Amino acid sequence: MLRDLRRQLDAIPEGPFRERVLDSVVLVGRLLHQGLKTKGKIYALHGPEVDCISKGKARKRYEFDTKVSLATTIDEGFVVGMRALPGNPYDGHTLPEALEQVEILTGRTSELAVVDRGHRGHGVSATQVLVSGMRRGLTPTLKRLLRRRRAPFIDCFAIDCRATIEPEIGHMKTDGRLSRCPLKGTCGDAIFAVLCGCGHNIRKILAHLRALLTLILAAFRAAGMYANRPANCYLVDGSGCSA
């Protein structure tokens, strides 16, 4: 089919359609000639920028997508940095870029970063970095700070980073549709990653506002019940009013 299409290219007039056909022919040619050890493989014709990411799990060994870095606050889990990383780079080499994005978005330098074991060999010196599984270097102040997380962040005084970040990633994949990007190309991946982080923060803010509204309504309801009570009314065993 590819050879037949190449023979009929001369019959296609010049224009945007011919350019799209030529691009498709080149892409299919790369796909047919790539080998097992070829670098820059094509895994999807509709998305040539897709990478093969090794998951290391028995139920799902590989994932065909674009790697995304995620930075959240320790206490509340708000997203302060999120960016797409095309090309499947080593996690440790992406930490300086992630911290730089956090500094740009927040306007301040991070003093502490807790990362998973994939970021070993990061080479960051300006920020104190704690790698998942560490037992040394944890001061009592750091232990108290990490225990403030809702999920168990320290198990036998060893940092368990994945236990805290996995719920945030899960909410983004289910509620924020992070598992499938509808935008095309590398630029679309970058835009969609930032939008997912913004949506995650908005959902958290709305949850806090709902909780605050519930408290305000409960306070107004209690104040209204107290104001409508007769002056000579008093409670008996907390069951009601008796005149």
Cα–Cα separations (whole angstroms), residue 88 to 139, 177, 226? 34, 21, 63
Radius of gyration of the chain (CA): 27
- Residue 41 DSSP label: -
58 shares a domain with 142? yes
Higher pLDDT, 121 or 17: 17
26 shares a domain with 84? no
Q: How far apart are CA 218 and CA 227, in angstroms?
A: 14
55 shares a domain with 29? no
184 shares a domain with 92? yes
Q: Is the pLDDT of residue 153 over 60?
A: no
196 shares a domain with 130? yes
Q: Is the pLDDT of residue 78 over 70?
A: yes
151 shares a domain with 194? yes
79 shares a domain with 198? yes
Higher pLDDT, 52 or 242: 52
- With 0-12 / 13-18 / 19 or more C-beta atoms within 10 angstroms meaning exposed / middle / buried, residue 154 is middle
118 shares a domain with 14? no
84 shares a domain with 11? no
Note the pLDDT tens digit of each residue in 171-226. 888 888 888 888 888 999 999 999 999 999 999 999 999 999 999 999 988 887 77
Range of the domain at 13: 2-33
24 shares a domain with 78? no
Structural domain total, the chain: 2
pLDDT at 155: 36
Query: Averaged over 6-34, what is the pLDDT?
Result: 83
210 within domain boundaries: no
pLDDT at 159: 46
Q: Tell me, rounded to whole angstroms, the distance of Cα 107 from its chain centroid.
A: 20
pLDDT at 144: 64
64 shares a domain with 24? no
Please give the model's pTM, rounded to 2 decimal places.
0.72
Name the most confidently modeled range: 77-91, 140-154, 155-169, 195-209: 195-209
The SS3 call for residue 99 is helix
Q: How far apart are CA 69 and CA 198, in angstroms?
A: 14
pLDDT at 151: 35
26 shares a domain with 125? no
